[in-house]
Amino acid sequence: MSSGPNRRLRLPVETALVGGVSLLILAAVGGVILITFFTARTSTLELLRDRADLGLELLEVIETGISIVAMGGHDLHHGRG
């Protein structure tokens, strides 16, 4: 073997095939993982938004109920009930 500047790296065909197939598998699995991550992230944010909206609606219902009770108690306290 010469150690000059024209020396080329020679890979066996098996090594190149195994490396190529490994890279293809890695790219496919990585793509699936990325798609799953972004889909799950979007879904989680939508669910959190829905929960927050539901919580705000519940607070409005509770506030309305408290207001009604408070006004009713106020009317009773002043002898109008």
Q: What is the pLDDT of residues 23-81, one digit of tens each?
A: 999 999 999 999 999 999 999 999 999 999 999 999 999 999 898 888 876 655 555 54
φ and ψ at residue 12, rounded to 5 degrees: -65, 150
Q: Determine the Cα–Cα distance for residues 52 and 56; give it in Å rounded to an integer.
A: 6
Other C-beta atoms lying within 10 Å of the C-beta of residue 16: 10
Is the pTM higher than 0.75? no
Say if CB 81 and CB 72 are below 8 A apart: yes
Lookup: tokens for 14: 């098996």
